[in-house]
Amino acid sequence: MKTTHQRFAMTLALIVVPLFANAAGPQFTAVEGWLKPAPDMQSIGQAHGDVAVSSNGDVYVSVGGARGGVQVFDSAGKYLRNVPNAPTDFHGFIIRQEKAGEFIYGAQLSAQAILKMQLDGRIVLSIAGSTIPPELVAMRDGKPSLRLTNVDVAPDGRIFAVDGYSSDIIHVFDANGKYLESFGGKAAPFGFRTCHKIAIDTRFDPPRILCCDRENRRVVHLSIDGQVLSVVKEMKRPAAVAVFGEWAAIAEIEGRVSLLDKEGNIVMTLGANDLKEQTATNKVKPADWRTGILTAPHGLDFDSQGNLFVTEFNLYGRVLRYDLAR
């Protein structure tokens, strides 16, 4: 279980975010000017990755550029360090608490591999894409085209990785990295079109898999063994999912985050952008950013208090923070 985070510095301004919520829905505020790049950097670097929060409240962000890899910030947004050995192509990653400590699990988009790392950067497991049966890997220009976009870990230790930019197949490994099985894909009954990121949905017993089927504009619940259970339609190109309490937060790349309840109802939306030209693009410049208003959400995670962190697809790197009212 995650421990209580240190309280956020009171000197930073809190600005109410435009949202839609029912009477019982949660309330969030956006933290203005939360994240500060390293002192020698004007921005954190090109972002096409993810964000995850450790048990002590540190925020880990995967970026490219001059200080590419995984950057670490404290809960007040101060740059602390880069994770040693972390690659620059973590398109999706998580932090999970296990008996032996906390670990980063990351899907490498270019290297076609999955890494498990300690928070200090020591690599403890590497799963090569070549362990996946070749008949399940799409070919492009005569070469395997495995484009792993996300990874998550079930309570029993099984590792689930999705080939979201190629075959849309979810591959399953045991805790030691041994290949077990695969399911999903573009054909029926799944019919995925860019199964961008997934999460193990622990709101249910047994846990389920929640898939962001981006180009079908829907999220899909699967059983842990790959049976289609339910579908939520009419999303704004969902890109990532994080679970906290009874909610599943969906990062929608067309400029919105939605919170879903267990039945798939939208409890509220957060940070919706009313300027179409600013959504689903990585070219929005910092001068055009508006506090709490999203442009291209690409990854997200909650801390133990329910505060939400969202990283965007953006050339300059942008991470937004929304604090949950208490």
8 Å CB contact between 235 and 250 = yes
Across 161-186, average pLDDT: 98
Percent of the chain at pLDDT > 70 equals 93
Q: Residue 250 and residue 268: Cα distance in Å, rounded?
A: 11
pLDDT per residue as tens digits for the range 8-30: 333 333 333 334 344 457 899 99
Would the pLDDT of 56 be above 70? yes
Percent of the chain at pLDDT > 90 equals 90
When pLDDT is cut at 50, 70 and 90, the band that residue 326 belongs to is confident
When pLDDT is cut at 50, 70 and 90, the band that residue 272 belongs to is very high
pLDDT per residue as tens digits for the range 147-166: 999 999 999 999 999 999 99
8 Å CB contact between 52 and 11 = no
Q: What is the pLDDT of residue 147?
A: 97
Q: What is the pLDDT of residue 201?
A: 98
Token readout for 216 is: 């079908």
How many residues are recorded in the chain?
326
Q: Residue 220 and residue 198: Cα distance in Å, rounded?
A: 9
Partnered with residue 103 across adjacent β-strands are 96, 118
Would the pLDDT of 324 be above 50? yes
Amino acid identity at 115: L
* CATH annotation of 14-324: 2.120.10.30
309-312 contact pairs (CB < 8 A, 24+): 309/51, 309/53, 309/59, 310/51, 310/251, 310/257, 310/271, 311/47, 311/49, 311/50, 311/51, 311/61, 311/62, 312/47, 312/282
Q: What is the pLDDT of residue 20?
A: 39
229 vs 144, residue with greater confidence: 229
Q: What is the pLDDT of residue 24?
A: 59
Q: Which residue has the tokens 């829907």?
A: 218
Q: What is the pLDDT of residue 25?
A: 74
Write the CA distances from 237 to 186, 194, 204, 256, integer angstroms.
Answer: 17, 10, 24, 10
Phi-psi label, residue 190: left if phi above 0, alpha if psi -120 to 50, beta otherwise: alpha
Q: Which residue has the tokens 């622990």?
A: 202
- Chain mean pLDDT for the chain: 92
Helix (H, G, I), strand (E, B) or coil at 278: helix
Helix (H, G, I), strand (E, B) or coil at 154: coil
